[in-house]
Chains A and B, each alone.
Chain A
Amino acid sequence: AQKVTQAQTEISVVEKEDVTLDCVYETRDTTYYLFWYKQPPSGELVFLIRRNSFDEQNEISGRYSWNFQKSTSSFNFTITASQVVDSAVYFCALRRGSNYKLTFGKGTLLTVNP
């Protein structure tokens, strides 16, 4: 079975702090895909990144960076110099290589205070 665990239910930081959102996944598949989505108060899920299981290279996009480690089955997301606009619920998701459905974690509510 597939499972995604986001152990941090809520995180609160002050603007300009760095923050890391944890994601641990379980799958027996050798081919799989990992995703992060952002859900602001408006409710729409906004795609942030997709990672393939055969590509462990970390990625940086502006203030966002992702650390993918197969050895620990983790796909953590770091926001550098957080801003109030980063406040949202962040979801980590997993998709098997042979299936189209996304399995989501429970989400982490990030609040960035001014």
Chain B
Amino acid sequence: GAGVSQSPSNKVTEKGKDVELRCDPISGHTALYWYRQSLGQGLEFLIYFQGNSAPDKSGLPSDRFSAERTGGSVSTLTIQRTQQEDSAVYLCASSFVAGVQETQYFGPGTRLLVL
């Protein structure tokens, strides 16, 4: 597609369950980023990929959060044993390369609600 796509659009889960969020970057973009948007914390960086490797995982809030990227394309963000404070919109972005001058283009996000 023309832009970054994310699935599912919305996810409701019960506390303690695992969830997987998917991001499909813009075709040809080698860098991929995950952010979280919540009412209390605003927009926070989670992790960034260059190709399939993640040089910066500094934003992951706990070891319940992990992400992987395969084939230099699709990425999956996994949250294990979800907690209510994980409720947020998870945004994915991609850029052509990981250069600091590059612009990050965002997807529509996945709205996660943990009951």
Contact B91 A33 (CB under 8 A): no
Of A44, A98, A100, the residue contacting B48 (CB under 8 A) is A100
Interface residues of A in 24-82 (CB under 8 A from B): 31, 33, 35, 37, 42-47, 50, 52
Contact with A along B102-115 (1 / 0, CB 8 A): 01111111010000
Contact A44 B100 (CB under 8 A): no
Check if A104 is an interface residue, CB within 8 A of chain B.
Answer: yes
Of A45, A46, A106, the residue contacting B42 (CB under 8 A) is A106
Question: Complex formed: what's the CA distance from A41 to B40 in Å?
Answer: 19
Interface size on A, residues (CB 8 A): 27
Residues in B with CB closer than 8 Å to A45 are 91, 93, 106
Contact A102 B42 (CB under 8 A): no
Contact A101 B103 (CB under 8 A): no
Which of B48, B59, B103, B108 has the most C-beta atoms of chain A within 10 angstroms of its own C-beta? B103
Check if B12 is an interface residue, CB within 8 A of chain A.
Answer: no
Q: How far is the CB of B33 from chain A (nearest CB, A)?
A: 7
Of B43, B56, B101, the residue contacting A91 (CB under 8 A) is B43
Question: Complex formed: what's the CA distance from A113 to B111 in Å?
Answer: 28
Check if B98 is an interface residue, CB within 8 A of chain A.
Answer: yes
Interface residues of B in 81-96 (CB under 8 A from A): 89, 91, 93
Check if B65 is an interface residue, CB within 8 A of chain A.
Answer: no
Contact A35 B103 (CB under 8 A): yes
| Known contacts A43-B89, A95-B100: A101-B56 contact under CB 8 Å | yes
Residues in A with CB closer than 8 Å to B67 are none
Interface, chain A (partner B; CB < 8 A): 31, 33, 35, 37, 42-47, 50, 52, 91, 93, 95-107
Interface, chain B (partner A; CB < 8 A): 31, 33, 35, 42-43, 45, 48, 56, 58-59, 89, 91, 93, 98, 100-101, 103-109, 111
10 more CB-based (< 8 A) A-B contacts, given A101-B58, A102-B33: A33-B100, A44-B108, A45-B93, A95-B100, A96-B100, A100-B98, A100-B100, A101-B45, A106-B42, A107-B43
